[in-house]
Amino acid sequence: MSLEEALDGPAESVAPRLLGALLTHAGVTVRLTEVEAYAGALDPGSHAYRGRTARNEVMFGPAGRLYVYFTYGMHTCANVVCAPDGEAAAVLLRAGEIVGGIELARERRQRSSDRDLARGPARLCRALDLSLGDYGADLSGPTITLRLADPAADYLTGPRVGLRAAADRPWRFWLPGEPSVSAYRPAKRLEGRD
């Protein structure tokens, strides 16, 4: 089965399959320990909720591509596209453990403990040296490679981090006991809103 076929499905079903997968880029390999599912037009938390734009175009398939975006004016985050061609869905890569190229990751993430090298979506991207230039990359290689592992026998689920819309969906998935898993933070309330 090709990577595209393995990743083609609902985001909330594909997300747990990514736990334990190995993502390699620019001399560093991360074992994914935490991810979040985003279901496109069905999900008000998704970048594709309001339809196709230049920013989210790659989310509309095919599966097995990388959706990279810039946020808060300073961070890059990456998602694995998992929708069939023409539909939008992706899985945010939230955290991982560096299992190859740790010296390179340390250089890229100066002043960080090894536990924190890829703990959080922006840190993970920095450790892997992922940038907007990697937008749309095919995850079957040669530049970026995603290798799926055997499905995790044990994982936990909970609400996604920092969302106001659809905050109650338990679409954050993580491996229990992994020190690289990021801390859960609910969205901050907007001032003046009940």
pLDDT tens digits for range 45-104: 999 999 999 999 999 999 999 999 998 777 999 999 998 889 999 999 999 999 999 999
Nearest-angstrom CA–CA distance, 37 and 56: 15
Whole-number pLDDT of residue 26: 98
Instruction: Give the pTM.
Output: 0.94
Domains of the chain plus CATH, in order, are: 3-174 (3.10.300.10)
Look-up of token digits 């994982």 = 155
CA distance 67 to 65: 7
**CA distances (Å), 18 to each of 10, 37, 54, 95, in order?**
13, 11, 26, 11
